[in-house]
Amino acid sequence: MKRGHFILVLNVIIILISIGCNLDRQDNSKASVFYTVIKITDGDTFWADDGSEKGIKIRLIGVDAPETRRTRNKEVGYYGQESKAYLAELIGGEKVRLEFDVDPTDRYGRSLAYVYKEDGTFVNAELVKNGFAMVMTVPPNVKYAEMLLALQQHARENNIGLWQQQ
């Protein structure tokens, strides 16, 4: 293994261990609230049942998946359908916990969240790690930016997912 790759892998391991330790310390005093995922919009946005008529629209913090449909401003992106399908497989119909950062909503009124499955899987990180989304950091919501960048670098260097050579 090249020295640069070894250092990158070592950094990713340290970051993941650090996050795991921090997660153990977070808000153990109050019960976690889980929401059932009811609809996947695309690879970085979904709807969850919060008891309201429509539900709550969630936009994953720190990631950007390719577009799945053409809009007036954006074209369908390479790997967009695959990203949506992966998110649907990962959390469709599942219960998820939301973790918010500094800004809880975006300009479109969507809730911005880091998302965790009941088994503790960090959904935002899984998308980046497996090449179904790339990192998109929008300050002040930067809590896991370094970890996500390390995961993206690893996916990119190993031609995983949307980073595959075409």
Catalytic positions, written as ranges: 59, 67, 110
The beta-strand segments (E) located in the chain are 34-42, 45-49, 56-60, 63-64, 95-99, 111-117, 134-135
User: Which two tokens mark 154?
Assistant: 């690893």
Please tell me whether the peptide bond between 139 and the residue prior to it is cis, using omega within 30 degrees of 0.
no
In angstroms, the CA 144 to CA 22 distance is 12
C-beta separation of 55 from 49 below 8 A: yes
C-beta separation of 15 from 150 below 8 A: yes
Name the 3-class secondary structure at 130. Answer: coil
Length in residues, the chain? 166
